[in-house]
DNA sequence: ATACTAGTTAGAAGGATCTC
DNA sequence: GAGATCCTTCTAACTAGTAT
Protein backbone atom coordinates (compact mmCIF):
# COMPACT_ATOMS: atom_id res chain seq x y z
CA UNK A 1 0.00 0.00 0.00
CA UNK A 2 1.57 3.19 -1.09
CA UNK A 3 0.35 6.53 0.25
CA UNK A 4 0.94 8.34 -2.98
CA UNK A 5 1.47 7.38 -6.52
CA UNK A 6 4.95 7.76 -7.87
CA UNK A 7 5.47 10.76 -10.08
CA UNK A 8 4.40 10.34 -13.62
CA UNK A 9 7.55 9.36 -15.44
CA UNK A 10 8.72 11.65 -18.13
CA UNK A 11 11.25 11.14 -20.79
CA UNK A 12 14.72 12.08 -19.82
CA UNK A 13 14.67 15.14 -22.00
CA UNK A 14 11.57 16.51 -20.39
CA UNK A 15 12.40 16.04 -16.73
CA UNK A 16 12.23 19.41 -15.08
CA UNK A 17 14.38 20.24 -12.16
CA UNK A 18 12.93 22.12 -9.23
CA UNK A 19 14.77 25.25 -10.18
CA UNK A 20 13.49 24.99 -13.72
CA UNK A 21 9.96 24.64 -12.47
CA UNK A 22 10.38 27.55 -10.14
CA UNK A 23 11.80 29.66 -12.88
CA UNK A 24 8.97 28.71 -15.15
CA UNK A 25 6.48 29.50 -12.48
CA UNK A 26 7.87 32.91 -11.77
CA UNK A 27 5.08 35.14 -10.62
CA UNK A 28 3.03 36.97 -13.12
CA UNK A 29 2.82 40.69 -12.73
CA UNK A 30 -0.33 42.52 -11.74
CA UNK A 31 -0.73 43.82 -15.27
CA UNK A 32 -0.35 40.37 -16.75
CA UNK A 33 -2.88 38.95 -14.34
CA UNK A 34 -5.29 41.69 -15.25
CA UNK A 35 -4.95 40.87 -18.91
CA UNK A 36 -5.33 37.19 -18.18
CA UNK A 37 -8.47 37.89 -16.17
CA UNK A 38 -9.89 39.87 -19.03
CA UNK A 39 -9.18 37.15 -21.51
CA UNK A 40 -10.63 34.63 -19.12
CA UNK A 41 -13.92 36.53 -19.05
CA UNK A 42 -14.31 35.94 -22.75
CA UNK A 43 -12.60 32.62 -23.13
CA UNK A 44 -12.19 30.49 -20.04
CA UNK A 45 -10.83 27.61 -22.06
CA UNK A 46 -8.53 28.96 -24.71
CA UNK A 47 -6.91 26.44 -26.99
CA UNK A 48 -3.18 25.97 -27.25
CA UNK A 49 -2.58 28.46 -30.01
CA UNK A 50 -4.67 31.07 -28.27
CA UNK A 51 -2.63 30.62 -25.15
CA UNK A 52 0.54 30.76 -27.19
CA UNK A 53 -0.44 34.08 -28.70
CA UNK A 54 -1.60 35.39 -25.36
CA UNK A 55 1.66 34.33 -23.76
CA UNK A 56 3.66 36.11 -26.42
CA UNK A 57 1.49 39.15 -26.09
CA UNK A 58 2.04 39.29 -22.36
CA UNK A 59 5.65 38.25 -22.48
CA UNK A 60 4.94 35.14 -20.46
CA UNK A 61 5.81 31.52 -20.74
CA UNK A 62 3.07 29.57 -22.53
CA UNK A 63 3.14 26.86 -19.90
CA UNK A 64 2.65 29.44 -17.22
CA UNK A 65 -0.33 30.86 -19.07
CA UNK A 66 -1.80 27.41 -19.41
CA UNK A 67 -1.26 26.72 -15.74
CA UNK A 68 -2.85 30.01 -14.85
CA UNK A 69 -6.00 29.24 -16.83
CA UNK A 70 -6.21 25.83 -15.26
CA UNK A 71 -5.91 27.20 -11.75
CA UNK A 72 -8.29 30.01 -12.53
CA UNK A 73 -10.96 27.62 -13.74
CA UNK A 74 -10.53 25.62 -10.59
CA UNK A 75 -10.84 28.69 -8.41
CA UNK A 76 -13.94 29.87 -10.21
CA UNK A 77 -15.46 26.45 -9.98
CA UNK A 78 -14.76 26.23 -6.29
CA UNK A 79 -16.06 29.66 -5.47
CA UNK A 80 -19.22 29.31 -7.53
CA UNK A 81 -19.82 25.69 -6.63
CA UNK A 82 -20.68 24.92 -10.22
CA UNK A 83 -18.80 24.10 -13.30
CA UNK A 84 -17.81 26.63 -15.82
CA UNK A 85 -19.85 27.37 -18.84
CA UNK A 86 -17.39 26.38 -21.46
CA UNK A 87 -17.99 27.76 -24.87
CA UNK A 88 -16.09 26.01 -27.60
CA UNK A 89 -12.64 27.35 -28.12
CA UNK A 90 -12.22 29.95 -30.77
CA UNK A 91 -10.60 28.65 -33.91
CA UNK A 92 -6.91 28.93 -33.42
CA UNK A 93 -6.07 31.77 -35.68
CA UNK A 94 -3.86 34.32 -34.09
CA UNK A 95 -5.21 37.16 -36.22
CA UNK A 96 -8.72 36.58 -34.98
CA UNK A 97 -7.86 36.89 -31.37
CA UNK A 98 -7.30 40.58 -30.98
CA UNK A 99 -5.10 39.88 -28.04
CA UNK A 100 -3.63 43.30 -27.70
CA UNK A 101 -5.76 44.37 -24.83
CA UNK A 102 -6.13 47.92 -23.65
CA UNK A 103 -3.92 49.02 -20.83
CA UNK A 104 -6.39 51.38 -19.26
CA UNK A 105 -10.10 51.54 -18.76
CA UNK A 106 -10.38 47.94 -17.69
CA UNK A 107 -13.81 47.19 -16.38
CA UNK A 108 -12.96 45.59 -13.10
CA UNK A 109 -16.61 45.37 -12.22
CA UNK A 110 -16.67 42.41 -14.49
CA UNK A 111 -13.99 40.72 -12.45
CA UNK A 112 -14.82 38.61 -9.47
CA UNK A 113 -15.02 40.77 -6.43
CA UNK A 114 -13.27 39.70 -3.27
CA UNK A 115 -15.45 38.40 -0.54
CA UNK A 116 -14.63 39.41 2.96
CA UNK A 117 -16.16 38.03 6.04
CA UNK A 118 -16.17 41.24 7.99
CA UNK A 119 -18.06 44.45 7.24
CA UNK A 120 -15.91 47.26 5.95
CA UNK A 121 -16.37 50.96 6.00
CA UNK A 122 -18.48 52.43 3.25
CA UNK A 123 -17.03 54.58 0.52
CA UNK A 124 -18.50 57.68 2.13
CA UNK A 125 -16.97 56.83 5.46
CA UNK A 126 -13.69 56.02 3.79
CA UNK A 127 -13.72 59.39 2.00
CA UNK A 128 -14.38 61.26 5.21
CA UNK A 129 -11.67 59.40 7.06
CA UNK A 130 -9.28 59.87 4.18
CA UNK A 131 -9.95 63.58 4.10
CA UNK A 132 -9.11 63.89 7.76
CA UNK A 133 -6.11 61.65 7.39
CA UNK A 134 -4.74 63.85 4.61
CA UNK A 135 -4.85 66.83 6.96
CA UNK A 136 -3.98 65.14 10.21
CA UNK A 137 -2.46 61.69 10.02
CA UNK A 138 -2.12 61.82 13.78
CA UNK A 139 -5.43 63.44 14.60
CA UNK A 140 -6.29 63.82 18.26
CA UNK A 141 -8.68 61.46 19.96
CA UNK A 142 -11.20 64.25 20.18
CA UNK A 143 -11.05 64.93 16.47
CA UNK A 144 -11.41 61.27 15.71
CA UNK A 145 -14.35 61.01 18.07
CA UNK A 146 -16.03 63.87 16.24
CA UNK A 147 -15.60 62.34 12.84
CA UNK A 148 -16.66 58.96 14.18
CA UNK A 149 -19.92 60.44 15.37
CA UNK A 150 -20.42 62.30 12.13
CA UNK A 151 -20.00 59.27 9.87
CA UNK A 152 -21.57 56.71 12.17
CA UNK A 153 -18.60 54.66 13.25
CA UNK A 154 -17.33 53.85 16.70
CA UNK A 155 -14.35 55.88 17.91
CA UNK A 156 -12.32 52.72 18.34
CA UNK A 157 -12.98 51.78 14.75
CA UNK A 158 -11.85 55.18 13.57
CA UNK A 159 -8.80 54.86 15.73
CA UNK A 160 -8.01 51.50 14.26
CA UNK A 161 -8.52 52.85 10.78
CA UNK A 162 -5.97 55.56 11.42
CA UNK A 163 -3.53 53.11 12.87
CA UNK A 164 -3.94 50.75 9.99
CA UNK A 165 -3.78 53.52 7.41
CA UNK A 166 -0.64 54.99 8.88
CA UNK A 167 0.93 51.60 8.81
CA UNK A 168 -0.07 50.83 5.27
CA UNK A 169 0.50 54.09 3.49
CA UNK A 170 4.01 54.87 4.56
CA UNK A 171 6.38 53.40 2.06
CA UNK A 172 9.56 52.46 3.75
CA UNK A 173 12.68 52.26 1.70
CA UNK A 174 13.98 48.76 1.71
CA UNK A 175 17.49 48.54 3.07
CA UNK A 176 20.29 46.89 1.22
CA UNK A 177 19.63 43.22 0.89
CA UNK A 178 20.20 41.26 4.04
CA UNK A 179 22.66 38.44 3.79
CA UNK A 180 20.93 35.29 2.74
CA UNK A 181 20.24 32.78 5.40
CA UNK A 182 22.09 29.59 4.67
CA UNK A 183 19.09 27.62 5.80
CA UNK A 184 16.09 29.67 5.00
CA UNK A 185 17.19 31.81 2.11
CA UNK A 186 16.91 35.54 1.58
CA UNK A 187 15.05 37.46 4.23
CA UNK A 188 13.66 40.91 3.89
CA UNK A 189 14.30 42.78 7.04
CA UNK A 190 11.91 45.60 6.44
CA UNK A 191 8.57 45.09 4.88
CA UNK A 192 6.83 47.66 2.77
CA UNK A 193 3.35 47.05 3.89
CA UNK A 194 0.93 48.38 1.35
CA UNK A 195 -2.64 47.52 0.74
CA UNK A 196 -3.36 45.61 -2.36
CA UNK A 197 -6.76 46.75 -3.40
CA UNK A 198 -8.36 44.22 -5.68
CA UNK A 199 -11.67 46.01 -5.47
CA UNK A 200 -10.34 49.41 -6.49
CA UNK A 201 -10.61 50.15 -10.14
CA UNK A 202 -7.55 51.11 -12.09
CA UNK A 203 -9.39 54.13 -13.36
CA UNK A 204 -9.54 55.46 -9.85
CA UNK A 205 -5.82 55.45 -9.75
CA UNK A 206 -4.96 56.26 -13.30
CA UNK A 207 -7.57 58.82 -14.17
CA UNK A 208 -8.92 60.43 -11.10
CA UNK A 209 -5.86 60.33 -8.88
CA UNK A 210 -3.05 62.33 -10.28
CA UNK A 211 -1.16 62.22 -7.04
CA UNK A 212 -0.13 59.30 -4.96
CA UNK A 213 -1.33 61.12 -1.90
CA UNK A 214 -5.02 60.88 -2.56
CA UNK A 215 -6.43 57.64 -1.30
CA UNK A 216 -4.93 54.67 0.31
CA UNK A 217 -6.66 52.38 -2.14
CA UNK A 218 -5.66 54.21 -5.24
CA UNK A 219 -2.20 54.60 -3.87
CA UNK A 220 -1.94 50.91 -3.49
CA UNK A 221 -3.07 50.36 -7.04
CA UNK A 222 -0.58 52.83 -8.33
CA UNK A 223 2.11 51.20 -6.37
CA UNK A 224 1.21 47.83 -7.79
CA UNK A 225 0.96 49.19 -11.29
CA UNK A 226 4.28 50.93 -10.98
CA UNK A 227 5.88 47.72 -10.00
CA UNK A 228 3.98 45.56 -12.39
CA UNK A 229 6.54 45.79 -15.09
CA UNK A 230 9.05 44.10 -12.90
CA UNK A 231 7.43 42.26 -10.10
CA UNK A 232 4.45 42.31 -7.82
CA UNK A 233 4.64 43.16 -4.15
CA UNK A 234 3.87 39.67 -3.06
CA UNK A 235 6.88 37.83 -1.78
CA UNK A 236 7.99 34.77 -3.57
CA UNK A 237 6.85 31.66 -1.83
CA UNK A 238 9.45 29.88 0.16
CA UNK A 239 9.12 26.62 2.00
CA UNK A 240 10.63 25.66 5.30
CA UNK A 241 13.10 22.85 4.77
CA UNK A 242 12.47 19.42 6.22
CA UNK A 243 14.49 20.01 9.35
CA UNK A 244 12.64 23.23 10.06
CA UNK A 245 9.36 21.50 9.36
CA UNK A 246 10.17 18.74 11.78
CA UNK A 247 10.88 21.23 14.54
CA UNK A 248 7.81 23.28 13.73
CA UNK A 249 5.60 20.24 13.76
CA UNK A 250 6.92 19.12 17.09
CA UNK A 251 6.30 22.57 18.50
CA UNK A 252 2.83 22.55 17.00
CA UNK A 253 2.04 19.25 18.62
CA UNK A 254 3.44 20.46 21.92
CA UNK A 255 1.21 23.50 21.80
CA UNK A 256 -1.96 21.39 21.84
CA UNK A 257 -4.82 21.75 22.43
CA UNK A 258 -4.84 25.45 21.54
CA UNK A 259 -2.03 25.17 19.00
CA UNK A 260 -1.20 28.78 19.68
CA UNK A 261 2.28 29.12 21.10
CA UNK A 262 3.14 32.33 22.87
CA UNK A 263 5.01 35.08 21.13
CA UNK A 264 8.05 34.28 23.24
CA UNK A 265 7.93 30.68 22.12
CA UNK A 266 7.59 31.69 18.49
CA UNK A 267 10.49 34.06 18.81
CA UNK A 268 12.51 31.29 20.31
CA UNK A 269 11.60 28.99 17.46
CA UNK A 270 12.32 31.68 14.90
CA UNK A 271 15.77 32.12 16.31
CA UNK A 272 16.41 28.44 16.48
CA UNK A 273 15.29 27.88 12.92
CA UNK A 274 16.78 31.05 11.51
CA UNK A 275 13.38 32.12 10.25
CA UNK A 276 11.59 35.45 10.63
CA UNK A 277 9.11 35.43 13.49
CA UNK A 278 6.40 36.50 11.08
CA UNK A 279 6.92 33.34 9.09
CA UNK A 280 6.78 31.18 12.16
CA UNK A 281 3.58 32.95 13.16
CA UNK A 282 2.13 32.48 9.71
CA UNK A 283 3.09 28.85 9.74
CA UNK A 284 1.27 28.21 13.00
CA UNK A 285 -1.72 30.17 11.90
CA UNK A 286 -1.97 28.38 8.59
CA UNK A 287 -1.36 25.01 10.17
CA UNK A 288 -4.12 25.53 12.66
CA UNK A 289 -6.50 26.68 9.96
CA UNK A 290 -5.57 23.68 7.91
CA UNK A 291 -6.07 21.36 10.84
CA UNK A 292 -9.50 22.79 11.57
CA UNK A 293 -10.47 22.53 7.96
CA UNK A 294 -9.48 18.92 7.79
CA UNK A 295 -11.20 18.03 11.00
CA UNK A 296 -14.38 19.58 9.70
CA UNK A 297 -14.01 17.73 6.46
CA UNK A 298 -13.42 14.43 8.18
CA UNK A 299 -16.45 14.90 10.39
CA UNK A 300 -18.51 15.74 7.36
CA UNK A 301 -17.38 12.63 5.59
CA UNK A 302 -17.96 10.54 8.68
CA UNK A 303 -21.48 11.87 9.03
CA UNK A 304 -22.29 11.10 5.47
CA UNK A 305 -20.92 7.59 5.51
CA UNK A 306 -22.19 4.38 7.12
CA UNK A 307 -19.12 2.49 6.15
CA UNK A 308 -18.15 -0.09 8.74
CA UNK A 309 -14.46 0.36 8.08
CA UNK A 310 -14.53 4.02 8.90
CA UNK A 311 -11.24 4.30 10.73
CA UNK A 312 -9.37 2.31 8.20
CA UNK A 313 -10.74 4.40 5.41
CA UNK A 314 -9.90 7.59 7.19
CA UNK A 315 -6.33 6.60 7.66
CA UNK A 316 -6.03 5.62 4.08
CA UNK A 317 -7.60 8.81 2.96
CA UNK A 318 -5.21 10.89 4.97
CA UNK A 319 -2.29 8.96 3.67
CA UNK A 320 -3.40 9.53 0.14
CA UNK A 321 -3.63 13.23 0.64
CA UNK A 322 -0.47 13.49 2.70
CA UNK A 323 -2.60 15.34 5.15
CA UNK A 324 -1.28 17.43 7.98
CA UNK A 325 -3.64 16.15 10.58
CA UNK A 326 -3.17 16.07 14.28
CA UNK A 327 -2.67 12.36 13.92
CA UNK A 328 0.11 13.21 11.55
CA UNK A 329 1.86 15.25 14.17
CA UNK A 330 1.42 12.52 16.66
CA UNK A 331 2.99 10.11 14.26
CA UNK A 332 5.88 12.46 13.84
CA UNK A 333 6.30 12.60 17.56
CA UNK A 334 6.18 8.90 18.14
CA UNK A 335 8.52 8.33 15.28
CA UNK A 336 11.28 10.00 17.14
CA UNK A 337 10.95 7.91 20.22
CA UNK A 338 9.94 4.55 18.90
CA UNK A 339 12.32 4.14 16.10
CA UNK A 340 10.83 0.91 14.83
CA UNK A 341 8.09 2.04 12.52
CA UNK A 342 7.28 0.41 9.29
CA UNK A 343 6.98 2.30 6.06
CA UNK A 344 3.24 2.57 6.59
CA UNK A 345 3.75 4.36 9.88
CA UNK A 346 5.68 7.18 8.33
CA UNK A 347 4.41 10.53 9.50
CA UNK A 348 2.05 12.26 7.19
CA UNK A 349 2.65 15.44 5.33
CA UNK A 350 5.74 14.23 3.59
CA UNK A 351 7.11 17.18 1.67
CA UNK A 352 6.70 16.75 -2.02
CA UNK A 353 9.87 15.33 -3.30
CA UNK A 354 11.50 16.93 -6.25
CA UNK A 355 13.62 13.91 -6.94
CA UNK A 356 12.54 12.28 -10.14
CA UNK A 357 15.57 10.23 -11.00
CA UNK A 358 15.12 6.60 -11.90
CA UNK A 359 17.90 5.33 -9.70
CA UNK A 360 17.27 6.92 -6.34
CA UNK A 361 20.04 6.99 -3.79
CA UNK A 362 19.74 4.49 -0.94
CA UNK A 363 17.01 5.29 1.47
CA UNK A 364 18.37 6.29 4.84
CA UNK A 365 16.81 5.18 8.07
CA UNK A 366 17.63 6.50 11.52
CA UNK A 367 17.00 5.15 14.98
CA UNK A 368 17.06 7.50 17.90
CA UNK A 369 17.06 6.84 21.61
CA UNK A 370 14.10 8.52 23.32
CA UNK A 371 16.18 10.33 25.89
CA UNK A 372 17.94 12.21 23.13
CA UNK A 373 14.75 13.71 21.78
CA UNK A 374 15.78 17.14 22.87
CA UNK A 375 19.10 17.00 21.18
CA UNK A 376 18.81 19.11 18.16
CA UNK A 377 21.28 17.31 16.01
CA UNK A 378 19.43 14.08 16.42
CA UNK A 379 16.09 15.58 15.65
CA UNK A 380 17.48 17.20 12.57
CA UNK A 381 18.76 13.89 11.37
CA UNK A 382 15.46 12.25 12.05
CA UNK A 383 13.93 14.91 9.92
CA UNK A 384 16.30 14.19 7.13
CA UNK A 385 15.92 10.48 7.12
CA UNK A 386 12.20 10.32 7.33
CA UNK A 387 10.98 13.23 5.30
CA UNK A 388 13.51 14.03 2.66
CA UNK A 389 14.19 12.75 -0.73
CA UNK A 390 17.71 11.52 -1.39
CA UNK A 391 18.38 14.72 -3.24
CA UNK A 392 17.35 16.74 -0.23
CA UNK A 393 19.53 14.67 2.05
CA UNK A 394 22.38 15.35 -0.31
CA UNK A 395 21.70 19.07 -0.38
CA UNK A 396 21.37 19.27 3.36
CA UNK A 397 24.57 17.41 3.97
CA UNK A 398 26.45 19.56 1.53
CA UNK A 399 25.10 22.65 3.19
CA UNK A 400 25.83 21.50 6.70
CA UNK A 401 29.31 20.23 6.23
CA UNK A 402 30.28 22.52 3.44
CA UNK A 403 31.52 19.76 1.23
CA UNK A 404 31.60 19.55 -2.53
CA UNK A 405 28.69 17.53 -3.74
CA UNK A 406 30.05 14.97 -6.09
CA UNK A 407 32.40 12.45 -4.62
CA UNK A 408 31.12 11.56 -1.18
CA UNK A 409 28.32 9.14 -0.53
CA UNK A 410 25.27 10.85 1.01
CA UNK A 411 25.26 8.37 3.82
CA UNK A 412 28.83 9.22 4.73
CA UNK A 413 27.94 12.87 4.62
CA UNK A 414 24.99 12.25 6.86
CA UNK A 415 27.25 10.42 9.26
CA UNK A 416 29.62 13.33 9.26
CA UNK A 417 26.81 15.73 9.98
CA UNK A 418 25.75 13.54 12.84
CA UNK A 419 29.21 13.41 14.32
CA UNK A 420 29.59 17.13 13.97
CA UNK A 421 26.36 17.65 15.81
CA UNK A 422 27.89 15.87 18.83
CA UNK A 423 24.47 14.52 19.46
CA UNK A 424 24.89 11.12 18.05
CA UNK A 425 27.30 8.53 16.86
CA UNK A 426 26.37 7.38 13.45
CA UNK A 427 26.89 3.74 12.73
CA UNK A 428 26.10 2.96 9.15
CA UNK A 429 24.99 -0.54 8.51
CA UNK A 430 23.82 -2.39 5.50
CA UNK A 431 20.34 -3.80 5.40
CA UNK A 432 19.10 -6.80 3.59
CA UNK A 433 16.43 -4.81 1.89
CA UNK A 434 18.99 -2.54 0.34
CA UNK A 435 18.38 0.45 2.59
CA UNK A 436 21.02 1.83 4.83
CA UNK A 437 20.83 2.89 8.42
CA UNK A 438 22.38 5.24 10.88
CA UNK A 439 22.00 4.46 14.55
CA UNK A 440 21.87 7.45 16.80
CA UNK A 441 23.24 6.39 20.17
C1' DA B 1 1.43 50.24 18.64
C1' DT B 2 1.26 45.64 18.54
C1' DA B 3 -0.59 41.18 18.40
C1' DC B 4 -4.03 38.72 17.04
C1' DT B 5 -8.09 36.31 14.12
C1' DA B 6 -10.51 34.99 10.11
C1' DG B 7 -10.79 34.83 5.51
C1' DT B 8 -8.62 35.12 0.77
C1' DT B 9 -5.32 34.68 -3.05
C1' DA B 10 -2.34 32.43 -5.87
C1' DG B 11 2.15 29.66 -6.58
C1' DA B 12 3.88 25.01 -6.31
C1' DA B 13 3.45 20.30 -6.65
C1' DG B 14 2.04 16.08 -8.34
C1' DG B 15 -1.60 12.84 -9.76
C1' DA B 16 -5.12 12.15 -13.47
C1' DT B 17 -6.37 12.38 -17.97
C1' DC B 18 -5.84 13.22 -22.77
C1' DT B 19 -3.56 12.81 -27.23
C1' DC B 20 -0.80 10.79 -30.45
C1' DG C 1 3.28 3.86 -23.59
C1' DA C 2 5.32 8.47 -23.63
C1' DG C 3 4.67 13.04 -23.29
C1' DA C 4 1.69 16.92 -22.77
C1' DT C 5 -1.84 19.03 -20.53
C1' DC C 6 -5.29 19.56 -17.08
C1' DC C 7 -7.04 19.43 -12.46
C1' DT C 8 -6.86 19.43 -7.66
C1' DT C 9 -4.84 20.09 -3.30
C1' DC C 10 -1.86 22.19 -0.18
C1' DT C 11 -0.13 26.08 1.93
C1' DA C 12 2.82 30.57 2.03
C1' DA C 13 1.66 35.03 1.90
C1' DC C 14 -1.49 38.18 2.19
C1' DT C 15 -5.63 41.64 3.69
C1' DA C 16 -8.89 43.63 6.71
C1' DG C 17 -10.57 43.67 10.58
C1' DT C 18 -10.62 43.32 16.17
C1' DA C 19 -8.52 43.15 20.86
C1' DT C 20 -5.33 44.54 24.20
pLDDT digits (tens, 9 = 90+) for A4-44: 222 232 222 233 333 333 333 334 566 676 777 777 777 77
Measure A322 CA to C9 C1' (Å): 10
Name the segment(s) of chain A with CATH classification 1.10.10.60: 29-78, 121-167
A55-69, A136-150, A266-280: segment of lowest average pLDDT: A136-150
Distances (CA, A) of A226 to A73, A154, A260, A320: 28, 35, 38, 44
Residues 6+ apart with CB under 8 A from A410: A361, A362, A364, A390, A393, A394, A397
Q: CATH number for the A29-78 domain, one of 1.10.10.60, 1.10.760.10, 3.30.70.1250, 3.40.50.1380?
A: 1.10.10.60
Rounded CA-CA distance A186/A178 in Å is: 7
> From the C1' of C5, which residue's alpha carbon is nearest?
A66
Virtual torsion, Cα A207, A213, A218, A219, nearest 10 deg? 120
The most confident of the ranges A153-157, A172-176, A360-364 is: A153-157
Distances (CA, A) of A360 to A8, A59, A241, A391, A405: 15, 37, 20, 8, 16
Measure A8 CA to B18 C1' (Å): 14
Region label for A127, one of left (φ > 0), alpha (ψ between -120 and 50) or beta (otherwise): alpha
- Count other C-beta atoms under 10 Å from residue A33's C-beta: 17
Residues 103-132 of A with CB under 7 A from strand C: 116, 118-121
Rounded CA-CA distance A277/A239 in Å is: 14
Q: Which nt has its C1' nearest the CA of A69?
A: C6
Mean pLDDT of the A421-433 span:
34
Q: Does domain A239-330 have CATH number 1.10.3470?
A: no
Rounded CA-CA distance A331/A369 in Å is: 16
On strand B, nucleotides with any atom < 7 Å from a protein CB are: 1-17
Measure A396 CA to C14 C1' (Å): 30
pLDDT digits (tens, 9 = 90+) for A78-114: 555 433 333 333 333 332 233 333 332 333 333 333 3
**Contact between the CB of A160 and strand B at under 7 Å:** yes
Rounded CA-CA distance A416/A419 in Å is: 5
- Count other C-beta atoms under 10 Å from residue A252's C-beta: 22
Residue A390 has pLDDT above 80, yes or no: no
Mean pLDDT of the A115-137 span:
56
**Contact between the CB of A292 and strand B at under 7 Å:** no
The confidence score (pLDDT) of residue A58 equals 73
**Contact between the CB of A353 and strand C at under 7 Å:** no
**Contact between the CB of A304 and strand C at under 7 Å:** no
Q: For strand A428-430 and strand A364-368, is the pairing parallel, antiparallel, or unpaired?
A: unpaired
CB A63 within 8 Å of CB A51:
no
Residue A266 has pLDDT above 80, yes or no: yes
Q: How confident is the model at residue A368 (pLDDT cuts 50, 70, 90)?
A: very low
Residues 6+ apart with CB under 8 A from A257: none
User: Domain A121-167 adopts which CATH fold?
Assistant: Arc Repressor Mutant, subunit A (1.10.10)
Rounded CA-CA distance A89/A52 in Å is: 14
Amino acid sequence: MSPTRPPTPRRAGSVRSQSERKERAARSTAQQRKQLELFFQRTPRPDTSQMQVLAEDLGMDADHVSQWFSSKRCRVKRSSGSSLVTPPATPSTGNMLQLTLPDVGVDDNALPQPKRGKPRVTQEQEDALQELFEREPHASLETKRDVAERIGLTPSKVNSWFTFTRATTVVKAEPSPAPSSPIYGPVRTLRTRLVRAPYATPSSSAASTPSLRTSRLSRAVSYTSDRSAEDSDRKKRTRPNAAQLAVLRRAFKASAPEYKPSLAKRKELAEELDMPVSKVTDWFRNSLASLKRRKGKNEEERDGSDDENEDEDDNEHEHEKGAQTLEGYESAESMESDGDETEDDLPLQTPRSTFTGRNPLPRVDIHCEPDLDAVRGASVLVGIARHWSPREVEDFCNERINMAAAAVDPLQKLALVASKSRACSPVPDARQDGTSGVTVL
